[in-house]
């Protein structure tokens, strides 16, 4: 079965001005992915209000709509010091969360084996109540809740290998044992959270795993830690669905991080997750773009990730 590639041209309409998170990221990746045979390109649907409100508050949704209203007269509105909104941002963000939903549907229907969502703005810093760190809605969180509500699957594993800790995703599921949040990230680094002491709260205690890595951790140690974490998780839960917050800013060439992964390491980690999905959940795996800011290397790194998703074992 093929791998789905979810993409909408509206992702380019999220204008951030002169900003590391810009449309060139996704357009460069798209050009590279168009060279890959056998991908099943799908258009996303827009997330509905109900999809967003499974993870975000009414206040947050109102604030986003209010800011978007202002973009009819002002080119840019700042939702937080790092997070810009322009006229096309709302639709891009709704298609982003909806893209994950579309990917989940494609996998669950048996139409494809797995999927990659080529999305911007990214999502993992968006908390229940606020936009943050280039993120407006938390796409991976919307996807996790959608899996549970629509397909009656109980346990979702979110793997986040972006160089930054996904504080928003952690917040959303911190007290929830049904969604396991696993993050490896540079530490200390933006946004400041993600120490190994942060393991969940209440019923969710033990269902968040953070592996903080010092700047310049070797790729070999990084991948070893990644695998150690996966073992620790699967000793505790058998996931019914795996979602990946695939940021590529832990790449050695990335300007926003100081970790040292290569294309080969991302490919290997992808294969590890495919094996895990095959073992526990009939291969059900949806990955989506989070960070990654070296416009020269990013398209090739993502291509390696997608080729690993497509590979026949
Ligand atoms: Zn990042």
Structure tokens at 82: 């790092």
If one counts the domains in the chain, the total is 1
Residue 249 Cα to ligand 1 midpoint, Å, equals 6
Which pLDDT score is estimated for 309?
A: 98
Task: Show Cβ contacts of residue 84 under 8 Å, excluding neighbours closer than 6 positions.
Answer: 15, 16, 17, 19, 76, 77, 78
Q: What are phi and psi of 241, to 5 degrees?
A: -160, 140
Residue 150 Cα to ligand 1 midpoint, Å, equals 29
Task: Tell me the C-alpha distance between 287 and 112, whole Å.
Answer: 13
Residue 290 Cα to ligand 1 midpoint, Å, equals 6
Phi-psi region of 194 (alpha: psi -120 to 50; beta: other; left: phi over 0): left
Task: Tell me the C-alpha distance between 251 and 257, whole Å.
Answer: 8
Task: Show Cβ contacts of residue 251 under 8 Å, excluding neighbours closer than 6 positions.
Answer: 257, 259, 261, 262, 263, 266, 292, 294, 297, 298, 301
Residue-wise pLDDT tens digits, 220-275: 999 999 999 999 999 999 999 999 999 999 999 999 999 999 999 999 999 999 99
Structure tokens at 145: 């809740």
Catalytic choice (125, 164, 189, 222): 125
Percent helix, percent strand, percent coil in the chain, to nearest 5 = 40, 15, 45
Which pLDDT score is estimated for 191?
A: 98
Q: Please report, rounded to a whole number, the percentage of residues in the chain having pLDDT higher than 90.
A: 99
Task: Tell me the C-alpha distance between 69 and 65, whole Å.
Answer: 6
pLDDT at 59 over 80: yes
| Confidence grade of residue 312 (pLDDT, cut at 50, 70, 90) | confident
Q: What are phi and psi of 199, to 5 degrees?
A: -125, 5
Residue 165 Cα to ligand 1 midpoint, Å, equals 7
Structure tokens at 69: 């209203």
Would residue 275 show up in a list of annotated catalytic residues for this protein? no
Which pLDDT score is estimated for 145?
A: 98
**Average pLDDT across the chain, whole number:** 98
Structure tokens at 86: 């322009």
Task: Tell me the C-alpha distance between 81 and 104, whole Å.
Answer: 32
Residue 190 Cα to ligand 1 midpoint, Å, equals 9
Task: Tell me the C-alpha distance between 209 and 95, whole Å.
Answer: 29
Do you know the residue count of the chain? 313
CATH number of the domain encompassing residue 107:
3.40.800.20
Whether 137 contacts 93, CB under 8 Å:
yes
Residue with tokens 């968040």: 208
Residue 57 Cα to ligand 1 midpoint, Å, equals 23
Q: What is the model's pTM?
A: 0.98
Structural domain boundaries enclosing 226 = 3-310
Enclosing H/E stretch for 288: strand 285-289
Residue-wise pLDDT tens digits, 107-151: 999 999 999 999 999 999 999 999 999 999 999 999 999 999 999
């Amino acid at each position: 079965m093929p791998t789905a590639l979810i993409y909408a041209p509206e992702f380019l309409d999220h204008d951030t001005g002169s900003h590391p998170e810009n449309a060139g990221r996704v357009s460069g990746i798209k050009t590279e992915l168009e060279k890959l045979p056998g991908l099943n390109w799908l258009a996303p649907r827009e997330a509905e209000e109900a999809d967003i409100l499974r993870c975000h508050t009414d206040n947050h949704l109102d604030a986003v709509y209010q800011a978007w209203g202002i973009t009819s007269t002002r080119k840019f509105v700042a939702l937080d010091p790092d997070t810009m909104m322009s006229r096309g941002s709302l639709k891009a963000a709704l298609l982003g969360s909806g893209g994950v939903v579309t990917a989940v549907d494609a996998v669950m229907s048996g139409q494809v084996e797995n999927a990659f969502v080529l999305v911007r703005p990214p999502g993992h810093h968006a908390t229940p109540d606020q936009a943050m760190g280039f993120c407006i809605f938390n796409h991976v969180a919307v996807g996790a809740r959608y899996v549970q509500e629509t397909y009656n699957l109980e346990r979702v594993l979110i793997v986040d290998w972006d160089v930054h800790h996904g504080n928003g995703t952690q917040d959303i599921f911190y007290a929830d044992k049904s969604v396991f949040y696993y993050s490896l990230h540079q530490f200390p680094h933006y946004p400041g959270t993600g120490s190994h002491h942060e393991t969940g709260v209440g019923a969710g205690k033990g269902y968040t795993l953070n592996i903080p890595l010092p700047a310049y951790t070797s790729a070999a140690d990084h991948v070893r830690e990644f695998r150690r974490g996966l073992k620790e998780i699967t000793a505790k839960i058998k996931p019914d669905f795996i979602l990946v917050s695939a940021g590529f800013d832990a790449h050695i060439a990335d300007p926003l991080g100081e970790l040292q992964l290569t294309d080969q390491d991302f490919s290997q980690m992808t294969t590890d997750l495919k094996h895990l999905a095959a073992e526990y959940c009939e291969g059900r795996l949806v990955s989506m773009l989070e960070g990654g800011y070296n416009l020269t290397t990013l398209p090739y790194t993502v291509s390696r990730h997608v080729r690993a998703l497509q590979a026949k074992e």
